[in-house]
Structures are given as structure tokens and as C-alpha cells.
Amino acid sequence: ARQLCGILNDTYPTEAVCIKADVSTPEGAKKLISEAISAFGDIDVLVNNAGIAQQKLFTDITNEDWTKMVNTNLSSVFYLCREATPFMVSKKSGNIVNISSIWGETGGSCEVHYSAAKAGVIGLTKALAKELAPSGITVNCVCPGVIRTDMLSSFTEEDLKALADETPVMRLGTPKDVADAVLYLGTNSGFVTGQVLGVNGGLYV
């Protein structure tokens, strides 16, 4: 289902379209890009932000846990990049921003499957950046630290305070902190590619 969720602005006409698709599958990714192209006729920036998290002991991770985590956090990036890049290559321009995680860089205890999938996003970013650079397309990655989102809904206020105290800037990150980094990489001039930008408040640098 698709519905218009933006309105025209008198100064800067803008339009947003919500497209429901399961991007952890090839069919869902194809549907998303196809409907976006139908709505807007082109694609300039792709931000791969689909993600789930789960905390479990390594020995408790099931086959289903592993498959769902990898498909959502890593395979979706592959599927969407594969669908979007032909449109970018044809016009010799475009920006891809993939969202990984600080655990993709350092590894997180009790989050082996999450850490592995997010590390895969970093590897995909670096390799694809080299492949697409001659076509004028940048591919970069943002690695958020502890960001106050629904993924932290199971944490107590005491847990969140402890995480903030552990972060050198003494606070948790916000969605805007991450969005600002994505905006920069999604509109950069083309000489920044294959990079991993940490948005982590100095945690584990």
C-alpha cells in the first residue's frame, strides 16, 4: 500500500510517498525502488536504514534469529543497492549511505549476530564504493553509537544513564545526530567515498 504523506510547500515543492515493503527480501526491495521511481522518476540518494537488534547469548541464537538478523540488517542493503544502482549508473551520479553500527566496528557482547551483520555492511560499503566510484556514485557508511531510539526501549533509565556516563560527551545520541551525518554524506561533492563515519560521542574511539 502506498499513500501520500507529504504536502506541497509554497517555496520548495516537496512530496513524500510512503511505500510498504519488506526489504529483507529481493521482491520487497524491487517493489520499493520500482514504486519510488514511478513516483519521482529518478533516484539521487539511497539511505539503507532498515534494522533490528536483539540481545542474546551466542549459544542461544537460533537459526531463525540469525537468518532474520542477516536478512534485515545486511541482505536488505545488498538488495536495495542492486535495484538502485542501475538508475544512478545511467546518469553517472548518486549517493548511497548505509547505516551500520559501532558494534559492526568493535563487536558487541551478546549481540554476535547483530555485530556480524553490521560488520558486513561496512565491508559491502568499502567494496561497492570502489566499484561505483568511476560512475560518479559515492557509497559511505554511518556507524551510530548509543542512540536514543525504540531499539533502547527494553533498557531501564538506570541502564541509559550508565550508557550516557560511559560516553565521553556524557549523553546519548539522538536521531538528529545521525540524520545530520547522513545528510552530509548523501549530498557530498563526490570526493568522500568508501568512508565509515562514527556518530558515537567519542565512545570506543
Which one is catalytic: 12, 114, 184, 204? 114
Closest by Cα among 171, 107, 75, 93 to 136:
93
Residue type, 123: G
* Rounded Cα distance, 70 and 55, in Å: 14
**Contacts by 30-36, CB closer than 8 A, 24 or more apart:** 30/79, 30/83, 32/80, 32/83, 33/80, 33/83, 33/84, 33/87, 34/83, 35/2
114 an active-site residue? yes
Phi-psi region of 136 (alpha: psi -120 to 50; beta: other; left: phi over 0): left
- Is residue 36 within 8 Å of residue 43, measured between CB atoms? yes
23 CB burial (10 A radius; 0-12, 13-18, 19+)? buried
- Is residue 71 within 8 Å of residue 163, measured between CB atoms? no
* C-alpha cell belonging to residue 163: 550508557
Residue type, 136: G
What is the set of active-site residues?
Answer: 114
